[in-house]
C-alpha cells in the first residue's frame, strides 16, 4: 500500500506482490486439518431420469469416505436457483448435471471414485432438443428479460415506418454459446464447526454475501451462522456472480462426513455447471432516409434457456438506448431446451446485442454511402429513445471523434492489399448502463493516524481493494497510503456482488459516505482520535433506490483493423483502439486493464470462441481451453484504450461509471465490420473461422 497515489492517478494493485509471489490465497488454497476432497459425477445424458446409481465399486476404493447420491445426500431448503437443487431427485435436466459426489482423502482418489460410480439412466428414448432456431415451436415471449426489462417495447409503428422507408435492410445475425472461462476454475472449501451450527466456506465467488444468503437458506441456518470468504478471486466474468453447484456440494459433503471438504472443479466441467452466454439469433430491420437517418429500427432476439429456469439474455435492450428512430421496436423470444441454464457473461445483453446492431449500422452506412462514424453522429438522439429521459451525459460522439483522430480514420480504413493479405478497418459503438446497488461500509480512524475501511466487496482481479482505499483517502482528505481497505468476506458490512460493472460505484459510494461521516466526527474532536479509535458507518440504500430522472450509460467507440488470408481463411486483428466515456476514471492503470481486457474478450468472440451444442448428446463440444479457443498473446495486437473526461454530477459521489464490461461491447462488431471492409463480404455469424471465411 506504500505510495498509493491520489484518486484519479494511476495506482498498482495493493495485492500485486502477494499475487506474483504466491502469497495470495484462493478458495482452493485453504486446507483445514482433516480436509477431504470431493469430485462430482456428471450426467452423460441430457434428458431423462437416474434409475440406479451403483456406488459399491467406488466405495470400496482406498481412501474413499463417502459417495453421495440423491438417496442419501442432505435435504436442501428452498432456493430460487434450480441449478442448485443438487442430489435431491432423479431428474436429469441437462448433460453434465451432477448425479453423485465422491469424497476421499485425496483429490486423485476422489476422482478415481467418481469414475468408478456406475449410473443407469432412463431417457425414454428421447433425443435431446438443443437446436435453437427462430421458429422453434417451444419459443415464447417472456414477460421480462434479464435486468427486469420488459421483453417488448415499441415507440411509433416501427414496422409500418420500416415499410415506408426509402432504404430498407432486413438482416440476421447469430452469436453462438460462449463460455466465461476465468483463469481460476470454481472451487470451494467448506468447514462445519463441531456441533454443526456454524458454517465457514472459502469460495471463488464474485459476491460472498450472496453465497452466504443462499447457503443459509439451503442448509437451514440463520445468516449470521455462515461466513463466506472470497479474499482473492481469479476472475469471474459473471460465472461466479451467483453461487454455483460446487459450493453447495462441498457444504453437503462436509455435513455428510463431518469433516472439512474441498471441491475444485476441473475446467471441463465448467461449461455445464457455471452458466454460459446463451446463443442469440438476431433479426435487425433498419429503415432510413437516403442520408442514413433512421426512420425505423426493429431488433428482435431469439435465445435459449434450460428446462428448469427462465434466463433471458436481454440482447435487444441496448437498441433502446442507442439511436434516434421514430419507429423503434425491440422484442425477445426464449426457447427452453435440454441445455444447461445460461448465466451472466461480461456485458450480458449488450455484448451480443451490440454485435448485431453495430454490424447492421455498418451495413446501413455501406448501403447509403455514408461514413460509418458520420452515420452514427447523424442518428444521435437528444434523449434516451425508450424512456424519453435526458442523458446524464452521453459521450458517444466525443468517443467516435477522438477515436477517429487517434486511429487515423477514415484514411486507414482500406481496403488494401498488404503482403498478399486483404486488410481493412471497421468501427462500432459501445454502451453499458450505470448500475448501482445498495451498500454499507464502516470507516475507522486509528490512534496511530491510519484509517481502515470495511466493506463486503469482492476483488475479482479488478483492483477493487485498491480503488476503495483511494476513494476513502479522497473522502477523508488524507494520503492513500494511510488507508487500508478490508474486503472479501461476508461478515463485513453488506455489499452487492462484483457484477454489472457496479462495484466501484456502489461500494465506493458507501465508503465515501462512511469516510465523510468519519471526517466530520474527527473535525468535531479537532482531529483527536481516542485510544480505542473512532468509527462511522454508512448505508446507501435510500440514496441508491431513488430513481434518477436521468438515463445513465457509459459509451465508447471501438476501431479495429484486420488482415484476411484468402488462402488459409485466417483473419488476424492488426490493431484495436477504443475510446470510452465512463464518467471520472478513478484509477487509470487498472481502468486501462479493464478496457483492454474487455477488448481482448471481444477479439476472441469475433474470431475463435464458440461452443456448439452436440445434437446427439446434448453437451457442449468445446469444454476446455484446448477446444475453446480464447485469444493468446500471439493473437492480441497492439491495443490502445483511451477515454474522454466526463464530469457528470448525476452519478455516485465520485462521478464514476462502471468500466468492467463496456470494453467487450462493440469490439466484435468493429472486427466484423473491418472484415467486411477488407473483403467486401459480410459474414453474419460468429466467429469468423476459416471454414466461414473461405
Ligand atoms: Mo458481470 S457478467 O455483471 O459479472
User: Would 512 be classed as within a structural domain?
Assistant: yes
Predicted pLDDT of residue 5: 79
Domain finish residue from 220, 252, 273: 273
Per the structure, the complete domain to which residue 490 belongs is given by 16-25+439-539
Domain finish residue from 539, 562, 586: 539
**Does 350 share its domain with 482?**
no
Q: Work out the pLDDT band at 3, boundaries 50, 70, 90.
A: low
**Does 532 share its domain with 553?**
no
3 state SS of 116? helix
Predicted pLDDT of residue 4: 76
Report pTM. 0.97
CATH code where residue 217 lies? 3.30.365.10
Residue whose CA lies nearest to ligand 1 atom number 4: 238
**Does 299 share its domain with 253?**
no
Predicted pLDDT of residue 678: 98
Closest atom, ligand 1, to C-alpha of 498? 4
Closest atom, ligand 1, to C-alpha of 501? 3
Mean pLDDT of the chain: 97
Average pLDDT on 125-141 reads 96
Give the distance (Å) from ligand 1 centre to CA of residue 500. 5
- Cα torsion for 296, 298, 299, 304, to the nearest 10°? 180
Answer yes or no: is pLDDT of 665 > 70: yes
Is residue 371 a contact partner of residue 686, using CB atoms and an 8 Å limit? Answer: no
The residue behind cell 482520535 is: 529
Summarised one tens digit per residue, pLDDT across range 45-104 is 999 999 999 999 999 999 999 999 999 999 999 999 999 999 999 999 999 999 999 999
Summarised one tens digit per residue, pLDDT across range 192-234 is 998 989 999 999 999 999 999 999 999 999 999 999 999 999 9
Give the distance (Å) from ligand 1 centre to CA of residue 124. 38
Catalytic residues: 661
Average pLDDT on 484-506 reads 98
User: Would 648 be classed as within a structural domain?
Assistant: yes
Residue among 661, 662, 663, 664 to mutate when testing ligand 1 (max atoms within 8 A of CB): 661
Is residue 327 a contact partner of residue 293, using CB atoms and an 8 Å limit? Answer: no
Residue among 241, 311, 665 to mutate when testing ligand 1 (max atoms within 8 A of CB): 241
**Does 68 share its domain with 173?**
no
Predicted pLDDT of residue 508: 98
Summarised one tens digit per residue, pLDDT across range 271-329 is 999 999 999 999 999 999 999 999 999 999 999 999 999 999 999 999 999 999 999 99
Residue among 233, 314, 433, 499 to mutate when testing ligand 1 (max atoms within 8 A of CB): 499
**Does 443 share its domain with 557?**
no
User: Would 646 be classed as within a structural domain?
Assistant: yes
Summarised one tens digit per residue, pLDDT across range 458-477 is 999 999 999 999 999 999 99
Instruction: Please report the DSSP string for 283-307 in residue order.
Output: EEEEEE-TTS-EEEEEEEEEEEE-S
Average pLDDT on 557-566 reads 98
Give the distance (Å) from ligand 1 centre to CA of residue 232. 17
**Does 293 share its domain with 363?**
yes
Summarised one tens digit per residue, pLDDT across range 373-391 is 999 999 999 999 999 999 9
Average pLDDT on 506-523 reads 98
User: Would 299 be classed as within a structural domain?
Assistant: yes
Predicted pLDDT of residue 77: 98
Closest atom, ligand 1, to C-alpha of 346? 2
**Does 321 share its domain with 368?**
yes
Domain finish residue from 211, 244, 273: 273
**Ligand 1 residue neighbourhood (C-beta within 6 Å):** 206, 236-238, 241, 344-346, 348, 499-500
User: Would 132 be classed as within a structural domain?
Assistant: no
Give the distance (Å) from ligand 1 centre to CA of residue 694. 35
**Does 604 share its domain with 682?**
yes
Furthest C-alpha separation in the chain: 79
User: Would 361 be classed as within a structural domain?
Assistant: yes
Is residue 469 a contact partner of residue 453, using CB atoms and an 8 Å limit? Answer: yes
Answer yes or no: is pLDDT of 659 > 60: yes
**Does 358 share its domain with 504?**
no
Closest atom, ligand 1, to C-alpha of 241? 4
Average pLDDT on 602-613 reads 97
User: Would 8 be classed as within a structural domain?
Assistant: no
Give the distance (Å) from ligand 1 centre to CA of residue 413. 33
Q: How far apart are CA 350 and CA 608, in angstroms?
A: 19
Average pLDDT on 489-496 reads 98
Domain count, the chain: 3
ipTM above 0.90, yes or no: yes
**Does 508 share its domain with 600?**
no
Instruction: Please report the DSSP string for 390-451 in residue order.
Output: PEEE--HHHHHHHHHHHHTTTTT---EEETTEEEEEEEEEEEEE------EEEEEE-TTS-E
Predicted pLDDT of residue 126: 85
**Does 398 share its domain with 503?**
no
Closest atom, ligand 1, to C-alpha of 180? 2
User: Would 85 be classed as within a structural domain?
Assistant: yes
**Does 282 share its domain with 261?**
no
**Percent residues over pLDDT 90 in the chain:** 98
Answer yes or no: is pLDDT of 1 > 50: no
Amino acid at each position: 500500500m506504500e505510495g498509493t497515489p491520489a484518486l484519479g492517478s494511476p495506482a498498482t494493485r495493493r495485492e500485486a506482490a502477494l499475487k506474483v509471489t504466491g502469497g495470495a490465497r484462493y478458495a482452493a488454497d485453504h486446507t483445514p486439518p482433516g480436509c477431504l476432497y470431493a469430485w462430482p459425477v456428471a450426467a452423460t445424458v441430457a434428458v431423462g431420469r437416474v434409475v440406479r446409481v451403483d456406488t459399491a465399486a467406488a466405495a470400496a476404493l482406498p481412501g474413499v469416505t463417502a459417495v453421495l447420491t440423491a438417496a442419501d445426500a442432505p435435504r436442501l431448503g428452498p432456493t430460487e436457483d434450480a441449478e442448485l437443487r443438487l442430489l435431491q431427485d432423479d431428474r436429469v435436466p441437462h448433460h453434465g448435471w451432477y448425479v453423485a459426489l465422491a469424497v476421499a482423502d485425496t483429490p486423485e482418489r476422489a476422482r478415481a471414485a467418481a469414475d468408478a460410480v456406475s449410473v443407469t439412466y432412463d431417457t425414454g428414448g428421447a433425443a435431446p432438443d438443443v437446436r435453437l432456431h427462430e421458429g422453434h415451436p417451444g419459443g415464447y415471449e417472456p414477460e421480462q428479460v434479464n435486468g427486469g426489462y420488459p421483453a417488448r417495447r415499441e415507440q411509433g409503428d416501427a414496422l409500418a415506418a420500416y415499410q415506408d422507408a426509402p432504404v430498407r435492410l432486413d438482416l440476421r445475425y447469430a452469436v453462438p454459446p460462449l463460455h466465461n472461462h476465468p483463469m481460476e476454475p470454481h472451487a470451494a472449501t467448506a468447514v462445519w464447526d463441531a456441533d454443526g451450527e456454524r458454517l465457514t466456506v472459502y469460495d471463488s465467488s464474485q459476491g460472498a454475501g450472496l453465497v452466504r444468503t443462499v447457503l443459509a437458506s439451503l442448509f437451514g441456518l440463520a445468516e449470521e451462522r455462515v461466513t463466506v470468504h472470497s479474499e482473492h478471486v481469479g476472475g469471474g466474468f459473471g460465472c461466479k456472480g451467483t453461487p454455483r453447484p460446487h459450493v453447495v456440494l462441498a457444504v453437503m459433503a462436509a455435513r455428510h462426513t463431518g469433516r472439512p471438504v474441498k471441491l475444485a472443479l476441473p475446467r471441463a466441467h465448467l461449461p455445464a455447471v457455471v452458466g454460459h452466454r446463451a446463443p442469440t439469433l438476431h433479426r435487425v430491420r433498419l429503415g432510413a432516409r437516403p442520408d442514413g437517418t433512421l426512420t425505423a429500427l426493429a431488433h428482435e432476439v431469439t435465445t435459449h434457456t434450460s428446462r428448469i429456469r427462465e434466463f433471458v439474455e436481454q440482447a435487444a435492450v441496448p437498441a433502446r438506448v442507442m439511436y434516434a428512430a421514430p419507429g423503434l421496436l425491440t422484442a425477445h423470444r426464449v426457447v427452453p431446451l435440454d441445455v444447461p441454464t445460461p448465466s451472466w457473461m461480461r456485458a450480458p445483453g449488450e455484448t451480443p446485442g451490440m454485435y448485431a446492431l453495430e454490424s447492421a449500422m455498418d451495413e446501413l452506412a455501406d448501403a447509403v454511402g455514408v461514413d460509418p462514424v458520420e452515420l452514427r453522429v447523424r442518428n444521435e438522439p437528444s434523449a434516451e429513445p425508450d424512456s424519453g429521459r435526458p442523458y446524464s451525459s452521453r459521450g458517444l460522439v466525443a468517443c467516435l471523434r477522438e477515436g477517429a483522430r487517434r486511429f487515423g480514420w477514415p484514411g486507414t480504413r482500406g481496403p488494401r492489399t498488404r503482403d498478399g493479405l486483404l486488410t481493412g478497418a471497421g468501427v462500432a459503438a459501445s454502451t453499458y448502463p450505470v448500475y448501482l446497488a445498495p451498500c454499507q461500509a464502516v470507516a475507522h480512524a486509528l490512534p496511530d493516524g491510519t484509517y481502515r475501511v470495511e466493506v463486503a466487496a469482492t476483488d475479482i482481479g479488478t483492483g477493487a481493494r485498491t480503488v476503495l482505499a483511494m476513494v476513502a483517502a479522497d473522502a477523508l482528505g488524507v494520503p492513500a497510503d494511510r488507508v487500508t481497505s478490508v474486503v472479501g468476506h461476508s461478515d463485513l458490512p453488506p455489499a452487492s456482488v462484483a457484477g454489472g460493472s457496479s462495484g466501484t460505484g456502489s461500494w465506493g459510494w458507501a465508503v465515501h459516505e462512511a469516510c465523510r461521516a468519519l471526517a466530520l466526527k474527527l473535525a468535531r474532536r479537532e482531529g483527536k482520535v481516542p485510544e480505542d479509535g473512532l468509527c462511522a458507518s454508512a448505508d446507501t440504500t435510500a440514496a441508491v433506490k431513488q430513481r434518477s430522472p436521468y438515463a445513465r450509460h457509459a459509451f465508447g467507440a471501438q476501431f479495429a483493423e484486420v488482415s484476411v488470408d484468402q488462402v488459409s481463411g485466417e483473419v488476424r486483428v492488426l490493431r484495436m483502439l477504443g475510446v470510452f466515456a465512463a464518467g471520472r476514471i478513478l484509477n487509470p492503470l487498472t481502468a486501462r486493464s479493464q478496457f483492454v481486457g474487455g477488448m481482448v474478450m471481444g477479439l476472441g468472440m469475433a474470431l475463435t470462441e464458440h461452443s456448439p451444442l452436440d445434437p446427439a448428446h446434448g453437451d457442449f463440444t468445446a469444454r476446455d481451453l484446448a477446444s475453446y479457443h480464447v485469444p493468446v498473446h500471439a493473437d492480441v495486437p497492439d491495443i490502445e484504450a483511451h477515454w474522454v473526461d466526463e464530469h457528470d454530477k448525476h452519478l455516485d459521489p465520485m462521478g464514476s461509471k462502471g468500466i468492467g464490461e463496456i470494453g467487450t461491447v462493440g469490439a466484435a462488431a468493429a472486427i466484423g465490420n473491418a472484415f467486411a471492409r477488407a473483403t467486401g463480404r459480410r459474414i453474419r455469424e460468429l466467429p469468423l473461422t476459416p471454414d466461414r471465411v473461405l
